[in-house]
């Protein structure tokens, strides 16, 4: 160990004198200092003096994530329990706080997921040494359990708190409850929530939202709705997040009539319980997924009555549903009605074009796109790229080029996918449309668009065989 520290000190001196003052120099010095601190901690950990925490407190070195990682990497080889203890000690150090990334990294380095017993062994070590264990220490351990995504381990750790006369708080219970919910152990989670009341703790919004969402995901809607009454009884007022979670569950597992009634009840509420954008969007998606686009449209129109403006996600869901069921006129009507509410008219029609594409209505999508061009609208890049690609795939290469040319003349090429250029040029050359290909190459040169490698060699080879040497030379200058 002493040799390692000497080498590091020499390296630090060398870096300081030889490396110019730049970010690299600062990084190297920072890295060296972290390594020096790690070596000092490892030297003490090698002694394995109990309690190790008291010995670690004597080190006057600044903790950082790099230092902690280096210590854990070494401990993971043959002393993973010491690594866990060091990590817990570091979490409570006055100069450092672990990030969620560090918790995840510690679990990976120490292999907590495959060997959860090391966490329990550390707690048993604390007891054997008579080490004073605080609630803060248990919270660090519970966060390790969360990083390991191990609900059963977290529950065992929670039970051990009582053995050390540590009274769990709401935050501690919430960590375990969330893990139980995520693992599908809803009854166990409910049992813990009831247990909280026995020790004069009250579930908070995090507790209720976790369990309610779990019930909704499992289709246990009556129990989810029943928790709303329990919440109110404990003075925890349900908000739009809670109601939206239940509404989402109803849409997925219940009847949409029930969802409509529930939404109506929300609309009569005041304050934080009133439906918001997420609530209405959830409802609209629910109807659309069940092939009830016109019912979704009624919900969409109700948004305006309650002063809630749809966003792109809402519009996309609504337009997808209407187009899939053939209600294109209705789709145009809602665009005309809601345009100017924060989303540009051109953007809304571009969304409609893409909804028609996803619905497999390719003739209608192209017709809508050409209507946009005729009216002087500016289709977005996704819509333009999709229509041109579709034309090329159908063997209509010249049509695709003519549409591309029209977009270029109207100044609407900026957002087109660069792959479209490569595909279009390849097909134009393949079909010997060299005049059009030359025009496209000029556009690519002016726009600094690079030709994708898979196409470049084949295009150049074909042009040379066809005697189009000048064009082949131009193409070679834009290949990536």
Could you read off the pLDDT of 355-388 as tens digits, one per residue?
999 999 999 999 999 999 999 999 999 999 999 9
Contact 135, 166 (CB under 8 A): yes
Q: What is the pLDDT of residue 137?
A: 96
How much is the pLDDT for 272?
Answer: 64
Residue 30 within a domain? yes
Which residues, including other chains, have CB under 8 Å from residue 456's CB and lie 6 or more apart?
Answer: 475, 476, 479, 480
pTM beyond 0.85, yes or no:
no
Is residue 203 a contact partner of residue 236, using CB atoms and an 8 Å limit? yes
Q: Which residues contact 322 (CB under 8 A, 6 or more apart)?
A: 293, 297, 328, 330, 331, 334, 355
Please name which of 45, 112, 373 lies closest in space to residue 353, comparing C-alpha atoms.
373
Please, which pLDDT band fits residue 253 given cuts at 50, 70 and 90?
confident
Provide CB contacts within 8 A for 82, sequence distance 6+: 45, 48, 52, 75
pLDDT band at 7 (very low <50, low <70, confident <90, very high): very low
CA distance 239 to 245: 10
Mean pLDDT on 167-194:
96
- 3-class DSSP state of 412: coil
Residue 20 has pLDDT above 80, yes or no: no
Of the two residues 51 and 325, the one the predictor is more confident about is: 325
In a domain, 45, yes or no: yes
**What does the pLDDT look like over 379-422, one tens digit per residue?**
999 999 999 999 999 999 999 999 999 999 888 887 788 899 99
- Give residue-wise pLDDT tens across range 276-311: 888 899 889 988 988 999 999 999 998 888 888 899
**How confident is the model over 146-162, as a mean pLDDT?**
96
Q: Report the pLDDT value the prediction gives residue 263, as an integer from 0 to 100.
A: 84
Q: Which residues pair with 479 in a beta bridge?
A: 451
Distance in angstroms (rounded) separating the CA atoms of residues 278 and 239: 12
Count of other CB atoms within 10 angstroms of residue 240? 19
Under the banding of pLDDT at 50, 70 and 90, the label for residue 271 is low
Q: Using the CB atoms, write b or e for 61-74: b if 16+ within 10 Å.
A: bebbeebbbbbbeb
pLDDT at 43: 86
Would you state the pLDDT for residue 16? 41
User: Which pLDDT does position 3 carry in this prediction?
Assistant: 35
* 325, two tokens: 């069921």
pLDDT of residue 286: 87
Alpha helices by DSSP H, listed for 149-292, are: 151-163, 170-182, 186-198, 205-217, 221-233, 240-253, 256-268, 277-289
Cα atoms found within 13 Å of the Cα of residue 454, Cβ hemisphere only: 4
**Which of 66-70, 235-239, 305-309 has the highest average model confidence (pLDDT)?**
66-70
| Tokens (6 digits) for 343 | 């989303």
C-alpha triplet 27, 32, 34: angle, nearest 5°: 95
Residue ending a domain, choose from 139, 166, 193: 166
Give mean pLDDT, residues 46-72. Answer: 86
CB atoms within 10 A of CB 205: 15
Give the pLDDT confidence score for residue 26 in this predicted structure.
40
Mean pLDDT of 156-184: 95
* Averaged pLDDT, 5-13: 39
Tell me how many domains the chain contains.
Answer: 2
**Structural domain includes residue 215:** no
The pLDDT of residue 339 is: 75
pLDDT confidence of residue 36: 85
Give percent of the chain above pLDDT 90. 60
Token pair 């403006």 is at which residue?
309
Tokens for 458, please give them.
Answer: 């084949």
In a domain, residue 347? The reply is no
Rounded Cα gap, residues 440 and 336, in angstroms: 35
Name the more confident of 424 and 479.
Answer: 424
Q: How far apart are CA 295 and CA 310, in angstroms?
A: 16
Mean pLDDT calculated for residue range 174-190: 96
Q: What pLDDT is stored for residue 371 in this prediction?
A: 95
What pLDDT was estimated at residue 120?
A: 96
* Structural contact between residues 41 and 56, judged by C-beta atoms closer than 8 angstroms: yes
Question: With 50 as the cut, is the pLDDT of residue 14 above it?
Answer: no
Q: How far apart are CA 235 and CA 220, in angstroms?
A: 24
Q: Is there a domain that residue 157 lies in?
A: yes
Query: Tell me, what's the pLDDT at 206?
Result: 93
Last residue of a domain, which of 113, 131, 166?
166
Residue 105 located in a structural domain: yes
Question: CA 466, 468, 469 angle in degrees (round to 5)?
Answer: 120
For residue 143, being part of any structural domain is answered with yes
Among 166, 188, 212, where does a domain finish? Answer: 166
In a domain, 36, yes or no: yes
194 vs 241, residue with greater confidence: 194
The whole-angstrom distance between residue 193's C-alpha and the CA centroid of its chain comes to 29
Which two structure tokens, joined as six digits, stand for 408? 């270029």
Residue 430 confidence (pLDDT) above 90: yes
Structural domain harbouring 420: 389-480
Average pLDDT over residues 144-163: 96
Q: What is the mean pLDDT of residues 181-199?
A: 94
Q: 254: which DSSP letter?
A: S
């Amino acid at each position: 160990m002493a040799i390692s520290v000497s080498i590091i000190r020499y390296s630090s001196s060398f870096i300081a004198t030889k490396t110019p003052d730049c970010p690299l120099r600062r990084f190297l010095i920072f890295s060296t200092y972290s390594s020096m601190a790690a070596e000092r901690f490892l030297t003490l950990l090698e002694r394995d003096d109990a309690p190790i925490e008291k010995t670690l407190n004597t080190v006057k070195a600044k903790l950082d994530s790099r230092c902690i990682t280096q210590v854990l990497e070494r401990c993971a080889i043959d002393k993973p329990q010491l690594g866990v203890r060091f990590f817990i000690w570091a979490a409570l150090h006055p100069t450092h706080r672990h990030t969620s990334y560090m918790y995840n990294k510690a679990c990976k380095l120490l292999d907590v997921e495959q060997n959860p017993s090391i966490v329990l062994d550390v707690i048993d070590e604390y007891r054997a040494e008579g080490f004073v264990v605080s609630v803060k220490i248990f919270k660090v351990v519970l966060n390790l359990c969360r990083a390991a995504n191990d609900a059963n381990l977290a529950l065992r750790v929670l039970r051990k708190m009582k053995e050390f006369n540590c009274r769990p708080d709401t935050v501690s219970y919430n960590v375990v409850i969330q893990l139980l919910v995520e693992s599908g152990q809803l009854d166990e989670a409910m049992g813990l929530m009831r247990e909280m009341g026995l020790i004069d703790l009250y579930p908070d919004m995090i507790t209720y939202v976790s369990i309610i969402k779990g019930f909704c995901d499992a289709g246990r809607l009556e129990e989810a709705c029943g928790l709303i009454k329990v919440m109110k009884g404990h003075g925890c007022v349900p908000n739009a997040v809670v109601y939206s979670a239940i509404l989402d569950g109803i849409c997925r597992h219940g009847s949409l009539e029930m969802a409509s009634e529930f939404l109506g009840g929300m609309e009569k509420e005041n304050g934080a319980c009133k439906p918001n954008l997420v609530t209405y969007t959830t409802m609209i998606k629910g109807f659309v997924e069940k092939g009830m686009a016109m019912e979704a449209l009624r919900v969409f129109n109700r948004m305006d009555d309650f002063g809630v403006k749809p966003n792109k996600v809402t519009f996309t869901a609504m337009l997808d549903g209407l187009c899939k069921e053939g209600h294109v006129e209705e789709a145009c009507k809602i665009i005309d009605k809601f345009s100017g509410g924060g989303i540009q008219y051109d953007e809304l029609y571009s969304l409609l074009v893409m909804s028609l594409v996803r619905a497999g209505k390719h003739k209608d999508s192209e017709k809508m796109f050409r209507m946009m061009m005729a009216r002087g609208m500016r289709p977005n890049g996704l819509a333009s790229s999709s229509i041109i690609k579709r034309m090329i795939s159908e063997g209509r290469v010249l049509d695709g080029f003519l549409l591309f040319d029209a977009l270029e003349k109207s100044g609407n090429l900026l957002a087109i996918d660069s792959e479209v250029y490569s595909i279009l040029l390849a097909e134009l050359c393949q079909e010997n449309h060299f005049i059009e290909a030359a025009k496209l190459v000029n556009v690519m040169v002016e726009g600094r668009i690079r030709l994708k490698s898979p196409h470049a060699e084949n295009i150049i080879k074909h042009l040379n065989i066809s005697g189009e040497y000048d064009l082949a030379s131009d193409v070679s200058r834009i290949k990536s």
